[in-house]
């Protein structure tokens, strides 16, 4: 298949591109490089440097005999989305409407979309399955929920078929070290720990240690990007074979606390992670855990790279490479 990967120069997108190439698909990348990196591009693939708000550029890209689209182009900082909802509305929602309209206008029917566990909000039960009520706590999460609704309408009215993949905590780097471009201005636990080890920031602040969990710190479901990437390949193949639209959680169904992540990082890297306890971060639920049963059944997908040691060592390798 010829796949247009929108946001293919980004952290998850570049891992998806690599997995698609490995599965012998033709790939074109569409990215405005606002957070994506030129160093994440593969020379073999066509690269279109453009914004998803540019309808003509999208349409031209799709007219190149594209069979399906993977859409990962989004602003994704939860805190920022509460400060600048206009930016998130425009980029995430209007940008996606442009993509849906360009697909409808060019007859490209199949779409794999990057959604997020942020659509669920504070869990009413764990593990969270896809039937869990949706109550996003951030505008970012709302944009993902809203887009899923648009996709449902375009399915009904325009013949779109989609797989919406709700990622839990995306972590890790390509173990082969081919994709190793570091995210600009990272906001998540693992990259922040790496920066603390390397002296790029004074220390990790652990947000809250009085949660109702085994050690008082929050528990999350950390899934390796290579496992996320393989789910995208399988989702595209599923749609290509005539599968119907799906919304699927992607997680490991196992949880680790922040302190467990710190300890494991110290063990794997052999370095001290300087940290201090700080106040809770608003909107952080104590425990988030996925049920990924549906993805396992429907896509025949299994996370095979998400062992903690692998997650940490691949991240550490990417960070060490960048600091050479």
Q: Which residues are catalytic?
A: 140
Start-to-end Cα distance in the chain: 38
Q: Which stretch binds ligand UFG (CB under 6 A): 41-49, 188-196, 235-243, 315-323?
A: 188-196
The correct pick among 9, 111, 218, 318 for binding ligand UFG (CB under 6 A) is 218
Q: How far is the CB of 67 from ligand UFG (least distance, A)?
A: 29
Q: How far is the CB of 196 from ligand UFG (least distance, A)?
A: 9
Q: How far is the CB of 19 from ligand UFG (least distance, A)?
A: 20
Q: Which stretch binds ligand UFG (CB under 6 A): 4-12, 81-89, 115-123, 148-156?
A: 115-123
CA 317 to chain centre: 20
| Per-residue CA distances from 202 to 153, 197, 320 (Å) | 48, 9, 18
Name which of residues 66 to 95 contact ligand UFG (CB under 6 A): 76, 78
Q: How far is the CB of 117 from ligand UFG (least distance, A)?
A: 4
Does residue 281 belong to the site contacting ligand UFG (CB under 6 A)?
A: yes
| Per-residue CA distances from 170 to 11, 72, 207, 296 (Å) | 10, 13, 19, 17
Q: Which stretch binds ligand UFG (CB under 6 A): 93-101, 175-183, 203-211, 296-304?
A: 203-211
Tokens linked to 230 = 């393989």
The correct pick among 12, 20, 72, 118 for binding ligand UFG (CB under 6 A) is 118
Strand, helix or coil for residue 299: helix
Strand, helix or coil for residue 292: coil
CA 131 to chain centre: 20
Tokens linked to 66 = 């594209």
Does residue 189 belong to the site contacting ligand UFG (CB under 6 A)?
A: yes
Question: What DSSP string describes 94-136?
Answer: IHHHHHHHHHHHHT--EEEEEEEGGGT-S-SSSSB-TTSPP--
Does residue 117 belong to the site contacting ligand UFG (CB under 6 A)?
A: yes
Q: How far is the CB of 207 from ligand UFG (least distance, A)?
A: 4
Q: Which stretch binds ligand UFG (CB under 6 A): 94-102, 103-111, 114-122, 233-241?
A: 114-122
Q: Cα–Cα distance between 301 and 304 in angstroms, integer?
A: 9
Task: Name the residues that contact ligand UFG, by CB under 6 A.
Answer: 76, 78, 116-118, 141, 169, 187-189, 192, 204-207, 218, 220, 258, 281, 284, 288
């Amino acid at each position: 298949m010829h796949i247009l990967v929108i946001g293919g120069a980004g952290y998850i997108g570049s891992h998806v591109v690599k997995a698609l190439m490995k599965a012998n698909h033709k790939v074109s990348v569409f990215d405005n490089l606002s957070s994506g990196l030129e160093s994440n591009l593969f020379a073999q693939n066509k690269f279109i440097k453009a914004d998803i708000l540019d309808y003509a550029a999208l349409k031209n890209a799709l007219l190149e005999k594209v069979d399906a689209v993977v859409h990962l182009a989004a602003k994704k900082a939860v805190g920022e989305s509460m400060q600048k909802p206009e930016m998130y509305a425009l980029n995430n929602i209007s940008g996606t409407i442009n993509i849906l309209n360009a697909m409808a206008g060019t007859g490209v029917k199949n779409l794999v979309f990057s959604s997020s566990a942020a659509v669920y909000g504070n869990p009413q039960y764990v593990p969270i399955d896809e039937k869990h009520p949706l109550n996003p706590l951030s505008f970012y999460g709302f944009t993902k929920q809203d887009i899923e609704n648009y996709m449902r309408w375009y399915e009904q009215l325009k013949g779109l078929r989609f797989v919406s993949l709700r990622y839990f905590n995306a972590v890790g780097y390509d173990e082969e070290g081919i994709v190793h471009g570091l995210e600009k201005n990272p906001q998540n636990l693992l990259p922040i720990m790496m920066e603390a080890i390397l002296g790029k920031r004074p220390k990790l602040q652990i947000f809250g240690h009085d949660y109702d969990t085994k050690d008082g710190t929050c528990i999350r479901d950390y899934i390796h990007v290579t496992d996320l990437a393989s789910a995208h390949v399988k989702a595209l193949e599923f749609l290509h074979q005539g599968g119907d639209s799906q919304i699927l959680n992607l997680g490991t169904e196992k949880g680790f606390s922040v302190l467990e992540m710190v300890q494991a990082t110290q063990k794997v890297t052999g370095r001290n992670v300087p940290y201090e306890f700080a106040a809770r971060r608003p909107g952080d639920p104590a425990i988030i855990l996925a049920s990924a049963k549906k993805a396992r059944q429907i896509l025949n997908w299994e996370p095979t790279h998400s062992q903690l040691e692998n997650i940490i060592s691949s991240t550490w390798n990417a960070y060490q490479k960048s600091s050479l």
